Every structure is written in C-alpha cells, then in structure tokens.
A = this chain, B = another copy of it.
Amino acid sequence: MSEKPFALAVKALVADDQGRILAIRRSAASSQFTGNWDLPGGKVDPGESFDVALAREVAEETGLSIVLTGVAGATEYDCPNVRLAVLFMEATVQSGEVQLSSEHDDHAWVEQSKLPEMGFAGQLREFVCNYCRR
C-alpha cells in the first residue's frame, strides 16, 4: 500500500448548448503530458471548496464561467508525491468565449460519443471511456 497522502482535484465535463464537451490540448508550456488532450480543472487549494476551485480552474484555463449540473464520477491519479482523488463534475457554460491560457494550445467541442477517441492520457482516458459507456 502506498503511503502517499491523498489530495483532491476536480475536473469538469463542460457542455455547450448542443451537449458537446470541451476538451483542451496541453501545450509545450504545460508541466507534463504535452500534446495530450485534457479536461479543464485542477487541484483544490487548502481551505477552498471544491465548487469554487472548479469554477476558478475552468475560468483560468478556458475563460468560461460555468454552472455545475451533476456528478460524473471519480477516479485517482498517482503523482510523484501525492495521490489525487479526482472528482468529475458535469457543467454547462454560463457565459464567456473560449480563451486558453499558455498551458493549452488548442480546444475542441466534442460529441460525447467521440470523447473516447480523443487523445486523453492514462486514467483520464479510462474514466472517459467508462463515463461514455454508462
């Protein structure tokens, strides 16, 4: 059994008004997984509630303001110093247009049936495949 502590991360399946999901691609400026597609989100800061953290991360990474609509599921990522418990939330766009930060260099609105074909890495790929199979 690993002795590394758990931290909480949150990621969003952000749907547009046609139900397509926003995927973003990690740039060379990203800390890891350059070129892989990802969902917006990140770690919950100490003292921060999960919904505030998710809205903050999505705004930072995509420029969009979101409304949470449901729970999509959870998985875990094993990182060098920590294990991340990753909670995935369903969301819709409240306002804004996509404007990426330097950590990502492309975005796509993807039909749910096509999500498993995106180049997601590792545990995210597995989660998305299970989610789309429900």
Number of copies: 2
| C-alpha spacing A92/B111, complex, angstroms | 40
Known A-B contacts A5-B51, A73-B73; the reply to A87 vs B89 at CB < 8 A is no
- Among residues of B, the one whose C-beta sits closest to the C-beta of A47 is B47
| C-alpha spacing A85/B91, complex, angstroms | 13
A85: B residues at CB distance < 8 A: 50, 71, 87, 89
A79: B residues at CB distance < 8 A: none
CB-based contact A74/B46 at 8 Å: no
Q: Is the interface of A mostly helix, strand, loop or mixed?
A: strand
- Among residues of B, the one whose C-beta sits closest to the C-beta of A50 is B8
Q: Which of A34-83 contact B (CB under 8 A)?
A: 46-47, 49-51, 67-76
- Enumerate the 8 nearest inter-chain pairs by beta-carbon distance, A residue then B residue, closest first: A74-B74, A71-B76, A47-B47, A71-B85, A8-B50, A6-B51, A71-B74, A6-B68
Listed A/B pairs (18) with beta-carbon separation below 8 Å: A1-B92, A5-B51, A6-B51, A6-B68, A6-B89, A7-B49, A8-B49, A8-B51, A8-B87, A50-B50, A50-B85, A71-B74, A71-B76, A72-B74, A73-B73, A73-B74, A74-B74, A85-B87
